[in-house]
Amino acid sequence: MQQIASILRQHLRQDIRDFTSVGSIGLFIVGATFISLKCFVTLHGVGWIALFWILFLFSILNLVQNAFKSSRTASRETQYVYFSALSVVIGTWLYHFLYLLGSALLLLLAMTVFFGSPISDLGLFLLNILIGSLGLCTVLTMTALIGSTVTQSNLLVSLLSIPLALPFLLLSVKISVVASGLIKDTAITTDLIQLSGITLLAIAIGILLIPTLWKS
Amino acid sequence: MLRQNWWKLLGVLIFGYVLVAGLLTPLKPGITDATPYTAVAGSSVDINVQGYNTHFEDGQSQVAFLKNRQQQVIQANSFRSTGNQSSVFSFDLPDMVDKDKARLTLVVNNSLDGSIILPDAITVTKGTGSISNSATWMPFDVGSLHVLEDFRFPYRNTLNETIRNTFFHVAIWFAMFILFIVGLIYSIKYLLKRNLRHDHIAAAFTEVGIIFGIVGLATGSIWAKYTWGTWWTDDVKLNMSAVAMLIYFAYSILRLSVKDIDSKARLSSAYNIFSFAVLIPLIFVLPRMTDSLHPGNGGNPALGGEDLENSLRVVFYPAVIGLTLIGVWMSTLVYRIGILKDQWINDL
């Protein structure tokens, strides 16, 4: 537990010291939203939701690629000596989760400012973002871990993540459409349970696989 | 040699049987179209019937009925066949007292075709004018009809001859799943035992599974163009198979991009297990909970009781077995190539 907190603290301290990655993600989100505004001019309903999730996916793909590179936290050898694999990965996973939530909220803010918001049930939408981010950050943490030992991993991590992120995105988009009031769905709890279910499954399998991925 | 490799021969023989039986067995006779689609109760109507594989001219003692939901029928007064595939049946429609509208099923029966049925062939609406005939509904006497005993595949409108694709499209998805699951098992085995051979087996089965998946998508796409009118549509099963294919393509890319043999095996095994875990709910749970254009939705597709006629099962189950055996054979070849490549790299 202490180790996890320590890793999380290292990540956050690194971001405070070196503002580049936070700033670049923020700029990416605002810039991409503005470009979309100039291209689409107006955007309602399903288009808004689709754009939201696409921008979200691509902004977080940029984020995770360097997570396990040695420059970020203590060097890999140090981590290997002082921390257990599980705590390093879970610490990074929590850090990703905070980061994903931050980018989602920033994106939501930016798109609401530029386009207006079609979301009528904000509580459901935020819950959706919460669960969806949990699932996506599990997938991204795993693929970043896989990619961390490969040279030239940037493209590879994206390639590995996109198909795995799709199931989460499909469900999240569906829930978002319901949250925007475009369709009425009384079975929305089923969708939420499905989304939580695959998230939990991904987390469980991820935890099982961490030790094998870490040793190298 | 045959003692070890009998299953390869068996696979090829079974697939040969599937090709012959699946492509050469004729379809049952069916009705492609019957015009007009609507008529007024109490009038006479000439129904122009287009048949498929039918013997309207050659068949003996031909009768035609219009049947309502209460299992009552009216028999055609007369018919005039212009060839085996087309015929005109004349009916006197009785008056309707209780309902405004009725959908009637057309049944044609003769000695060569047995009963040919077109459900909801004609919609009869209540007439306003005077009744021109005295026809009445009679109980349906099934006993006097001819029965077709031959081994034939069922005829379905819109499917027509493409019903044979069941043996290839559906069976290849089954075989693909078996291959992927074998690959998964060997990935787990590799992570437990760290035997590189297991990784090669996993990779071989997964690669052949990908090939089967591509063929499955292609046959499905062609079938969809014929029956649904489009190559690709937003159907839950299509989406999920596309996601599955993307994941396994990513798996191949991962294997190509890692050069070190041990870390290649470790990473790709982990990715295989992780992605399969994400896939399970998609492929086995979601399609059963969502509406789909595919048959058997809301239940267990393809293996369910109503979706597959017995004549199809006789070919479909062997098709699954045959394709799986061929897939395993292909996998062993890919596995041997992989082992040889490793040895070659070591020898360099």
B256 pLDDT band (50/70/90 cuts)? Answer: confident
Q: Which residue among B144, B169, B187 closes a domain?
A: B144
CB pairs under 8 A between A and B: 80
Say whether pLDDT at B112 is over 90.
no
pLDDT at B214: 93
Number of H helices, E strands in chain B: 7, 10
Residue positions counted in chain B? 348
Neighboring chain B residues of A213 at a CB cutoff of 8 Å? 266-267, 270
Q: How many domains in chain B?
A: 2
Q: Tokens in use for A68?
A: 């396990």
Averaged over B20-34, what is the pLDDT?
86
pLDDT at B14: 93
Mean pLDDT for all residues in chain B:
83
**Listed residue (B278, B291, B277, B199) closest to B236, CA to CA:** B291
Say whether pLDDT at A152 is over 80.
no
Inter-residue contact B332 to B18 (CB < 8 Å): no
Distances (CA, A) of B114 to B28, B111, B144: 9, 6, 11
**Checking DSSP bridges between strand B63-67 and strand B101-110, what pairing results, if any?**
antiparallel
Q: What is the pTM of this model?
A: 0.81
Averaged over A164-179, what is the pLDDT?
86
Say whether pLDDT at A29 is over 60.
yes
Say whether pLDDT at B288 is over 70.
no
**Listed residue (B239, B244, B272, B199) closest to A142, CA to CA:** B272
* Residue, of B247 and B312, whose pLDDT is higher: B247
Averaged over A145-171, what is the pLDDT?
82
Mean pLDDT for all residues in chain A:
82
Range of the domain at A72: 2-214
- Give the helix/strand (H/E) hosting B28: none
- Minimum mean pLDDT range among A180-194, B70-84, B107-121, B251-265: A180-194
pLDDT at B285: 67
pLDDT at B303: 45
Q: Which residue among B86, B111, B144 closes a domain?
A: B144
B1 domain residue, yes or no: no
- Cα–Cα distance for residue pair B91/B67, rounded to 1 Å: 12
Q: Tokens in use for B177?
A: 């799943």
Averaged over B40-68, what is the pLDDT?
85
Say whether pLDDT at B91 is over 80.
yes
Averaged over B7-15, what is the pLDDT?
92
Q: Using CB atoms, pick whichever of A150, A166, A194 lies closest to residue B243.
A: A166
Say whether pLDDT at B266 is over 80.
yes
- Minimum mean pLDDT range among B2-6, B15-19, B125-129, B303-307: B303-307
pLDDT at B305: 45
Residues B303, B202, single domain; the answer is yes
Residues B166, B103, single domain; the answer is no
A152 φ/ψ sector (left φ>0, alpha ψ -120 to 50, else beta): left
pLDDT at B308: 66
Taking the CA of residue B303 and the nearest CA in chain A, the distance in Å comes to 25
Say whether pLDDT at A168 is over 70.
yes
- Minimum mean pLDDT range among A160-164, A173-177, B119-123, B135-139: B135-139
Residues B140, B165, single domain; the answer is no
Taking the CA of residue B41 and the nearest CA in chain A, the distance in Å comes to 42
B16 domain residue, yes or no: no
Residues B180, B41, single domain; the answer is no
B324 pLDDT band (50/70/90 cuts)? Answer: very high
Say whether pLDDT at B284 is over 70.
no
Amino acid, res. A80: Y
Greatest mean pLDDT among B92-101, B193-202, B239-248, B292-301: B193-202
pLDDT at B329: 94
Say whether pLDDT at B299 is over 50.
no
HEC string for chain A: CHHHHHHHHHHHHHHHHCCHHHHHHHHHHHHHHHHHHHHHCCCCHHHHHHHHHHHHHHHHHHHHCCCCCCCCCCCHHHHHHHCCHHHHHHHHHHHHHHHHHHHHHHHHHHHHHHHCCCCCCHHHHHHHHHHHHHHHHHHHHHHHHHHHCCCCHHHHHHHHHHHHHHHHHHHHHHHHHHHCCCCCCCCHHHHHHHHHHHHHHHHHHHHHHHHHHHCC
Question: Which ipTM was obtained for this model?
Answer: 0.81
Averaged over A191-202, what is the pLDDT?
86
pLDDT at B211: 94
Contact at CB, B273 and A150, closer than 8 angstroms: no
Q: Which of residues 171-200 of A touch B (CB under 8 A)?
A: 190, 194, 197-198
Residue A189: Cβ-neighbour burial (10 angstroms; 0-12, 13-18, 19+): exposed
Say whether pLDDT at A134 is over 60.
yes
- Cα–Cα distance for residue pair B166/A164, rounded to 1 Å: 29
pLDDT at B181: 92
Contact at CB, A202 and B289, closer than 8 angstroms: no
Range of the domain at B322: 160-347
Say whether pLDDT at B302 is over 50.
no
pLDDT at B343: 87
Neighboring chain A residues of B247 at a CB cutoff of 8 Å? 163-164
Residues B193, B96, single domain; the answer is no
| B315: Cβ contacts below 8 Å, ≥ 6 apart | B17, B18, B21, B22, B25, B167
B3 domain residue, yes or no: no
| B298: Cβ contacts below 8 Å, ≥ 6 apart | B288, B291
Say whether pLDDT at A111 is over 70.
yes
Greatest mean pLDDT among A46-50, A76-80, B167-171, B183-187: B183-187
pLDDT at A66: 65
| Alpha-carbon B274 to chain mean position | 31
Greatest mean pLDDT among A82-91, B79-88, B283-292: B79-88
Other beta carbons less than 10 A from residue B68's beta carbon: 18
Contact at CB, B254 and A156, closer than 8 angstroms: yes
User: Among residues of chain B, what percentage have pLDDT more than 70?
Assistant: 90
Residues B62, B102, single domain; the answer is yes
Q: Which residue among B85, B109, B144 closes a domain?
A: B144
B102 domain residue, yes or no: yes
Residue with tokens 């935020």: A126
Q: How many domains in chain A?
A: 1
- B111: domain CATH number is 2.60.40.10
Residues B209, B336, single domain; the answer is yes
